[in-house]
Structure 1
Amino acid sequence: MAQIPSYLLLTSNEMAFADGMAAQSGIPSFDLMIRAGHAVAAAALSRFPEALRFTVLCGPGNNGGDGYVAARVLAAAGGRVAVFALGDTARLNGDARLAFEAWDGGVAPLEEFEPLAGDIVIDALFGAGLSRDVPPEVGKVIAAVAKAAVPVLAVDLPSGLNGRSGNILEAAFKADCTITFMARKPGHLLLPGRSLCGDIEVADIGIPGRIIEAAAGLLAENLPEIWSGLLPIAGSDSHKYRRGHLVVFSGEASKTGAARLSALAGLKTGAGLVTVASPADAMAANVAHLTAVMLRQIETEMELNEWLDSARLSAFVLGPGFGIGNRARDFVLALKNMPLVLDADGITSFKDDPAALFEAFADGKVRLVLTPHEGEFGRLFPDLAADESLSKVDKALKAAERAHAAIVYKGADTVIASPDGRAMINTNGPPWLATAGSGDVLAGMIGALLAQGMPAFEAAAAGVYLHGEAATIAGPGMTAEDLAEQAGQAMADLSRSR
């Protein structure tokens, strides 16, 4: 396969641009379609040797052309093949017309399709370029295939999914396998698309890697190859002050656990010093539970400012269990010149005046990391959250630009975005990561990486990835305490693999 970075993601427009560049470089576009169809047929034969019939559903565009080529190859290999077409085949043009004409079997209207026992459905209706709801006749076919529970192999992307957002456009196939070409699309990784793609194969159809890389934008899967060169690694000359001093703010006496989780995760992720800054009424609760993590009483904004003036403090985490209100806002604004992870209550404290937060961090290099889940995102960015025309990536990018912050838009498909237009989709978080306290641990891990000097976007991306790795190590049934304990092992494993 062409040497293409595995983390690259291409939108349908970027893939179309790559196709055009390939044609300009002298590669006939029909040759690409032939290779794509051969790849689809090879996947069908290898994955479904038990098939009694390969049913190929062909759309009116190039995705359908891939299907016609696949049908011809499958028939030549001895398979029983039936082809059903959406729309009037007399209106096919370009490469799709050539592929249709090369198919020497019959073609029936899509409306006549009925799944049979032993069928393998090859979905070549729309692919990644679909941006409108599927027609009613396609919706009926999708429902019939689901009811019959026959396997589906999707070409490029299960029909009915938006390739940029991963959203379902009225109805969509649930594929056992999806074969795409040269690079994955955002819709393969974003939910709900990820849950409908099955196993994803990326087939090399002969477009040079230099063209794919030139066509690609700033969106990628969150993988260590992107940021591992910036990951802080302890050397023989390391000492605690070089590894940074992380401060985590505690809430009141009844809500101290979240801050301690963040602090423990920060310590395990490599911060040289970690201090829990506690209000007076929570000092006793915190001192009873802290050992390697230090403790300091910080009750007022004045005390915080005095500490900032006198100590070497590297980065801060504010939000977990802190409480919502004026004190949170005052503390955040006092930290406006420092690297800060703002989570949970810290985010919600600015729901009535998000502009005050954004203005405080608007100048200079990015030093604010916001880690909202769906509800918190809507509190800071209500207009973006309500805009159904935007994908999760689009929302995160617009939020990052507005806030001049690295955004960690949490969920099973967490998106990390930067004000400069870079964005990554995270995929390594296991299902059991959705547990109470998990977000507190993530905030501490990102804070530790900030304290050790990583830039905000890379620290956020690395923290999210390591968070997923720590959860995998901890295994099903883990608690947030287990997750925090495994943060160090995840960091060590990644360091050894570099």
Structure 2
Amino acid sequence: MIGARLLTVEAMRRVDAAAIAAGTPGLTLMERAGAAVAARARVLLTEGGREGGSVLVLCGPGNNGGDGFVAARHLAKAGFAVEVVLLGRRDGLSGDAAGAAAAWAGRVREGAPDVLPPCGLVIDALFGAGLSRDLDGEARALVERVNASRLPVLAVDVPSGLDGDTGAVRGVAIQAAETVTFVALKPGHLLQPGRSLCGALHCADIGTGAAALSAGLAGCPALFRNGPELWGAGFPHLTGESHKYTRGHALVLSGPAWRTGAARLAARGALRVGAGLVTVASPADALAENAAQLTAIMLRPCESADDLDDLLTDERLNAVLLGPGLGSGEPTQERVMVAASAGRALVLDADALTSFKGQAATLAGYIRDGEARAVVTPHAGEFARLFAGTDAVEEGLGKVERARRAAALSGAVVVLKGADTVVADPDGRVAINDHATPWLGTAGAGDVLGGLIAGLLAQGMAPFEAACAGVWLHGDAGLRHGPGLIAEDIPELMPQVLAELLSRLGR
């Protein structure tokens, strides 16, 4: 599991400290980091037809700048023309950064230049992931100058100006073509706008060792990059004895006759992801409309919370999805209460969340009292409405912390949707998803996601793993289709997505 872990800024500090305490000098780690940056720079220069071209290395006053000095030395030794700019004074450097600078025999230009010299590549070694203030003054001006130049940039650790924990921009940030980081990715590499600013990501092993990594992770919140290595072991596995009744039965509630499409999209998602049976329950006036467009999916009438209560006497209905097209208000609240009290796996989306606007504690009470295995899937607006007045929406919080607090408060797995969807479990685990495409920003795509998660829950996956898997599968379908994607395409892509996933899992 360690391969999927992300390192916060604090965890990375602990890893470095543990490696140094175990006998690896800090300057040795810096040497390896700078060498890795130089190696990637050589590839970029060669692939860009600029072999033998010039490199501008921008060094900051700390250890990130030290990495830059090492990279400059390796590139100069390889025959590249290298110019080093130091944001500050050479005699102001200390520690390992001073040692790295001392080993650089070339000229150092102190202070930000008014005009960037022509070059084939800029190496951004100004500020790393631990930046804790907004860039201003000379630093801000230099970053803006680099961005305006449109020169290709290779960033060291993170693009300067990027918060390594939140992906937020500290005043202004470099737009990099590629980024080389060390040991493991940081949250800011995956969270927007950081993900877009980093360009292509490369993670270099600098020899800190497994023991130092474990020491760095000890006591830190469990934070992961979403992917099959996180949840693949628990992904549904068919055997020769599997049949539709062993593969779970998902129930999707539909709105009335003029609001049925969302439920059908969700139901098709649940069926395509492998649920053995899927039923759509709707008011009587919607039965004919749903019947005209569904075949393998069964239909049942459901006018009220009492009707839902009756339906759930069938214990084979083991996962319930409420919200898409259902309408917001007290009737939907009552249905949620019934479903939660039945103790089934539960997915709440859209109107099921809006119905509890500002009443997160009430919803949490229903979930906890019923011991429901619940997943809630809000987008940013639904999240703000549901958790209004709680510490999950405090100003200045990053997306990871917002989702983590919301999960702890609600007792449900929270899927905070967006270009950088975050999945948080009440136990503190969090996964960040970067396996997606902007083409998923289309009407109905979120309804399909709810169905995918419900279908996986019906097959017995635990809520956190089901949510993470559903988000990843959803993103994979979007990546496969690309331009022109509409929500109806997503379930139809599941056979391809699942076939490749199962092959990857060795099944």
Quick check: 13-22 or 285-294, which moved more? 285-294
2:265 is aligned to: 261
1:463 is aligned to: 470
Q: Which of 313, 325, 335 is 1:321 aligned to?
A: 325
Structure 1 residue 76: deviation in Å?
Answer: 2.1
Q: Which of 379, 384, 387 is 1:381 aligned to?
A: 387
Quick check: 380-389 or 164-173, which moved more? 380-389
Q: Is the 8 A contact 1:156 1:178 kept in 2?
A: yes
Q: Which of 355, 362, 371 is 2:361 aligned to?
A: 355
Structure 1 residue 444: deviation in Å?
Answer: 0.4
2:211 is aligned to: 210
Letter aligned with residue 67 of structure 1? G
1:12 is aligned to: 9
Q: Is the 8 A contact 1:255 1:322 kept in 2?
A: yes
Question: What secondary structure sits across from 1:442 in the alignment?
Answer: helix
Q: Is the 8 A contact 2:392 2:403 kept in 1?
A: no
Q: Which runs of 5+ in 1 are unaligned?
A: none
Quick check: 5-14 or 470-479, which moved more? 470-479
2:252 is aligned to: 248
Q: Which of 418, 431, 434 is 1:424 aligned to?
A: 431
Deviation readout 1:362-384 (Å, 9 max, x if unpaired): 25866110000110110112355
1:138 aligned onto 2:139: yes
Structure 1 residue 354: deviation in Å?
Answer: 2.0
Question: What secondary structure sits across from 2:68 in the alignment?
Answer: helix
Q: Which runs of 5+ in 2 are unaligned?
A: none
Quick check: 26-35 or 210-219, which moved more? 210-219
Q: Is the 8 A contact 2:420 2:432 kept in 1?
A: yes
1:302 aligned onto 2:306: yes
Deviation readout 1:199-257 (Å, 9 max, x if unpaired): 11111111112322442341111010111111112221112111111000000100101
1:80 and 1:331 map into 2 onto residues whose CA distance is 69
Question: What secondary structure sits across from 1:255 in the alignment?
Answer: coil
Q: Is the 8 A contact 1:366 1:406 kept in 2?
A: no
Matches within 5 A, 1:50-449: 50=50, 52-112=53-113, 114-216=115-217, 217=220, 218-336=222-340, 337-363=343-369, 367-382=373-388, 383-384=390-391, 386-449=393-456
1:387 and 1:261 map into 2 onto residues whose CA distance is 34
2:25 and 2:37 map into 1 onto residues whose CA distance is 19
Q: Is the 8 A contact 2:86 2:110 kept in 1?
A: yes
Q: Which of 24, 45, 54 is 1:48 aligned to?
A: 45
1:473 is aligned to: 480
Alignment CA distance shift 1:6-1:71 (3 Å): same
1:311 and 1:388 map into 2 onto residues whose CA distance is 43
Q: Which of 28, 33, 38 is 2:25 aligned to?
A: 28
Letter aligned with residue 22 of structure 1? A
Q: Is the 8 A contact 1:470 1:487 kept in 2?
A: yes
Letter aligned with residue 451 of structure 1? A
Q: Is the 8 A contact 1:378 1:384 kept in 2?
A: no
2:251 and 2:393 map into 1 onto residues whose CA distance is 34
Letter aligned with residue 362 of structure 2? A
Letter aligned with residue 458 of structure 2? A
Q: Is the 8 A contact 1:57 1:110 kept in 2?
A: no
1:111 and 1:234 map into 2 onto residues whose CA distance is 62
2:224 and 2:315 map into 1 onto residues whose CA distance is 38
Q: Is the 8 A contact 1:36 1:203 kept in 2?
A: yes
Letter aligned with residue 354 of structure 2? T
TM-score of the pair, normalised by structure 2: 0.94
1:35 and 1:497 map into 2 onto residues whose CA distance is 32
Structure 1 residue 46: deviation in Å?
Answer: 1.9
Question: What secondary structure sits across from 2:258 in the alignment?
Answer: helix
2:358 and 2:166 map into 1 onto residues whose CA distance is 29
2:304 and 2:418 map into 1 onto residues whose CA distance is 34
Deviation readout 1:275-323 (Å, 9 max, x if unpaired): 0010122122112222110000011222221222245210100011111
Q: Is the 8 A contact 1:328 1:349 kept in 2?
A: yes
Q: Is the 8 A contact 1:246 1:314 kept in 2?
A: yes
Q: Is the 8 A contact 1:220 1:425 kept in 2?
A: yes
Q: Is the 8 A contact 2:359 2:387 kept in 1?
A: no
Quick check: 484-493 or 322-331, which moved more? 484-493
Structure 1 residue 473: deviation in Å?
Answer: 3.3
Q: Is the 8 A contact 2:228 2:469 kept in 1?
A: yes
TM-score of the pair, normalised by structure 1: 0.96
2:274 and 2:45 map into 1 onto residues whose CA distance is 48
Deviation readout 1:384-425 (Å, 9 max, x if unpaired): 564342211111111111111111110111111101111111
Alignment CA distance shift 1:48-1:387 (3 Å): farther
Letter aligned with residue 429 of structure 2? R
Question: What secondary structure sits across from 1:335 in the alignment?
Answer: helix
Q: Is the 8 A contact 2:346 2:372 kept in 1?
A: no
Letter aligned with residue 237 of structure 1? E
Alignment CA distance shift 1:184-1:213 (3 Å): same
Question: What secondary structure sits across from 2:112 in the alignment?
Answer: helix
Identity of aligned residues (%): 50
Question: What secondary structure sits across from 1:424 in the alignment?
Answer: strand
Q: Is the 8 A contact 1:84 1:113 kept in 2?
A: no
Alignment CA distance shift 1:31-1:81 (3 Å): same
